[in-house]
Amino acid sequence: MPEAASAPATRAVIGDSEFDRDTEVVRRAPGVYDIDLSAGWTIISAVNGGYLLAVLGRALADTLPHPDPFTVSAHYLTASQPGPAVIRTETVRTGRTLSTGQASLYQYDAEGNEVERIRVLASYGDLAALPDDVRTSAVPPAMPPLERCLGPADGPAPVDGSSAITERLMLKLDPATVGWAVGAPSGKGEMRAWFGLADGRDADPFSLLLAVDALPPTAFEIGLTGWVPTVELTVHVRHRPAPGPLRVSITTRNLAGGFLEEDAEVWDSEDRLVAQSRQLARVRLG
Amino acid sequence: MPEAASAPATRAVIGDSEFDRDTEVVRRAPGVYDIDLSAGWTIISAVNGGYLLAVLGRALADTLPHPDPFTVSAHYLTASQPGPAVIRTETVRTGRTLSTGQASLYQYDAEGNEVERIRVLASYGDLAALPDDVRTSAVPPAMPPLERCLGPADGPAPVDGSSAITERLMLKLDPATVGWAVGAPSGKGEMRAWFGLADGRDADPFSLLLAVDALPPTAFEIGLTGWVPTVELTVHVRHRPAPGPLRVSITTRNLAGGFLEEDAEVWDSEDRLVAQSRQLARVRLG
């Protein structure tokens, strides 16, 4: 198994891992949850958007009658910072197969007023209840085995500012998509990586919400530098991931008018397409 | 110009067309709008989801300080019917470049209680204010000229039930993607069409919201029949469309577990990628 080479001696399990502890929300009242956003999931100057999505995803899983996020649409309003936050959820509709909810995450300004960071609409279901039919024409990304891919220790520091999140992840980039790190971007809007959690915890639907927004931005390989803040990100979780490392492929086809889309696919160790996402991001020239 | 062959003698203009009249919302109070959903935009047994998106898009354009939808995420809750509806909007955040809003459309049950049909989160901006840079690797879909594509009059009735919307549209399908209509689906999840409004009105950002959900479902070409209700649809409007017919290409790569994604691209007559969308839909076997 390829993950054996990079996994820690003792693997964390789902429910008792760094990721589980840092995304845990505490119900204060029905539909109201507290969390202390961990500084361990920051990149450059803000809390990672995928981590936030997992936090909101867990709050909605508590609120709604179905356990698994099927489709989550997030609009990012202001940059989240490590520290206290409150999440307010609403049940929009419950049905037999799907239920829909809404959630907002707030932090506080200097005067203690709530400032909304991110708002999501999401439809939940039960992945275990789906029929097992697959008629897909999608194929996994072509990329070298994990052992031949590159982690942060293999190159120069990729960005200024915090890179705390890289210590939480097992992220090994396809060498064909790391030109940006040595000043030679390919010009193609592609990034591919093996992905896991650093403590060896296997993937579940909530860590898929993290996985779709955890790679360096495709914009780097197009030759842009600087910050590429997400305006909106929608992710579809299509299957419960099998144990083992994931492959994440992100692509940008259309950079125009100062915005770009970034599409992600996440594949599990059994060659299942377990998640798809698309985000609209702004280009801030660095 | 290819549209000349199929356009009516007198072309409707933006602001004074069937589409404009049927998507017009009347402000009853701040953030509250009335509309009578037109029976002219129904397909099979429900009001078309793209038409609904345009209706909600216009309400949000009135509520928010920015004019154009940049990214709209819609979760479809219950099937809309022709007739009265009320829309309630909320301004979530206003910024210099972008503002974010939320909107819900409600109809009424037999007892007169409001039933929520669809809820959207959307971020708006000003397309005219964007820089003109384009670094796209996307290319327009390969398809025959409009004159060699096929409309409803060229084949058998494609579906049971209402097809009123087809009278509102200039929709000419690529012959390579109409096998389903004669019982010989290609097996590939692809559909392509030339798209316009039947009265000749040119496209604008609101009609792009219609365009991404107006083709027959890709599921038909995969060989499925029956209803493919949208769970969630997110659309990015990337550029103001030039006059002339649009090309719409929709693709499905992953049909699994009773759900599929449907990606749409909309190209204008100047070969600009003006909109991208993705929806998650349920497969109900017919």
In this predicted complex, what is the ipTM?
0.94
Write the class of the CATH domain A2-126+143-282.
mainly beta
- CB < 8 Å to A71, chain B: 75, 231-232, 280
pLDDT at A133: 85
Question: Once rounded to an integer, what is the mean pLDDT over residues A20-47?
Answer: 94
C-alpha B184/C-alpha B223 separation (Å) is: 8
Q: Compare CB distances from A70 to B98, B123, B280 and report the shortest one's residue.
A: B280
Chain B closest CA to A94's CA: distance in Å?
9
Question: Once rounded to an integer, what is the mean pLDDT over residues A119-126?
Answer: 98
Give chain A's length: 286
- CB < 8 Å to A273, chain B: 253-254, 256
Domain ranges within chain B, ordered by starting residue: 2-127+147-282
Question: In this predicted model, which residue has the larger pLDDT, B135 or B174?
Answer: B174
User: Which of A105, A114, A135 to probe the B interface (max B CBs under 10 A)?
Assistant: A135
Look at residue A33 and give its three-state secondary structure. Answer: strand
pLDDT band at residue B1 using 50, 70 and 90 as cut-offs: very low
pLDDT at B44: 77
pLDDT at A45: 74
CB A212 within 8 A of CB A266: yes
pLDDT band at residue A161 using 50, 70 and 90 as cut-offs: low
pLDDT at A156: 65
pLDDT band at residue A225 using 50, 70 and 90 as cut-offs: confident
Q: Is the pLDDT of residue A277 over 60?
A: yes
- CB < 8 Å to A120, chain B: 121
> Please, what is the average pLDDT of chain A?
92
pLDDT at B156: 65
Q: Report CB contact under 8 Å: B93, A77.
A: yes
Comparing C-alpha atoms, which of A180, A202, A172, A232 is closest to residue A49? A232
Q: Is the pLDDT of residue B159 over 90?
A: no
pLDDT band at residue A159 using 50, 70 and 90 as cut-offs: low
Comparing C-alpha atoms, which of B179, B172, B256 is closest to residue B225? B179
B239 phi/psi in degrees, rounded to 5 = -165, 150
C-alpha B130/C-alpha B126 separation (Å) is: 7
DSSP state, residue A257? T
- Pairing relationship of beta strands B42-43 and A32-37 according to DSSP bridges: unpaired
pLDDT band at residue B118 using 50, 70 and 90 as cut-offs: very high
C-alpha B286/C-alpha B229 separation (Å) is: 12
What residues have CB less than 8 Å from A74, skipping those under 6 apart? A49, A52, A53, A56, A118, A119, A120, A230, A232, A233, A234
Q: Report CB contact under 8 Å: A254, B238.
A: yes
C-alpha A192/C-alpha A266 separation (Å) is: 10
Which strand (E) or helix (H) includes residue A49?
Answer: helix A49-63
Question: Once rounded to an integer, what is the mean pLDDT over residues B260-268?
Answer: 98
CA nearest to B94 within chain A: A77
pLDDT tens, position by position, B164-200: 899 999 999 999 999 988 889 999 999 999 999 999 9
Question: Once rounded to an integer, what is the mean pLDDT over residues A234-245?
Answer: 97
pLDDT at B260: 97
- CB < 8 Å to A232, chain B: 71, 73, 121, 123, 234, 236
Report the percentage of chain A scoring pLDDT > 90: 81
Q: Is the pLDDT of residue A101 over 90?
A: yes
Question: Once rounded to an integer, what is the mean pLDDT over residues B1-18?
Answer: 71
- CB < 8 Å to B119, chain A: 92, 100, 102, 121
Q: Report CB contact under 8 Å: B77, A100.
A: yes
Question: Once rounded to an integer, what is the mean pLDDT over residues A226-245?
Answer: 95
Question: In this predicted model, which residue has the larger pLDDT, A6 or A44?
Answer: A44
Q: Report CB contact under 8 Å: A234, B102.
A: no
Question: Once rounded to an integer, what is the mean pLDDT over residues A206-220?
Answer: 95
Question: Once rounded to an integer, what is the mean pLDDT over residues B23-36?
Answer: 98
pLDDT tens, position by position, A128-157: 999 988 888 899 999 999 999 998 878 765
Question: Once rounded to an integer, what is the mean pLDDT over residues B3-20?
Answer: 77
Chain A closest CA to B106's CA: distance in Å?
12
> Please, what is the average pLDDT of chain B?
92
Report the percentage of chain A scoring pLDDT > 70: 93
- CB < 8 Å to A66, chain B: none
Q: Report CB contact under 8 Å: B121, A258.
A: no
Question: How many CB pairs (< 8 A) connect A and B?
Answer: 166
Q: Compare CB distances from A73 to B70, B232, B255 and report the shortest one's residue.
A: B232
Q: Which of 3.90.1300.10, 1.10.1060.10, 2.40.160.210, 3.40.50.720 is the CATH number of B2-127+147-282?
A: 2.40.160.210
Comparing C-alpha atoms, which of B179, B158, B145, B135 is closest to residue B247? B145
Chain A closest CA to B245's CA: distance in Å?
21
pLDDT at B205: 98
Q: Report CB contact under 8 Å: B256, A278.
A: no
What residues have CB less than 8 Å from B152, skipping those under 6 apart? B158, B163, B166, B171
Q: Is the pLDDT of residue A1 over 50?
A: no
pLDDT at A135: 86
pLDDT at A3: 44
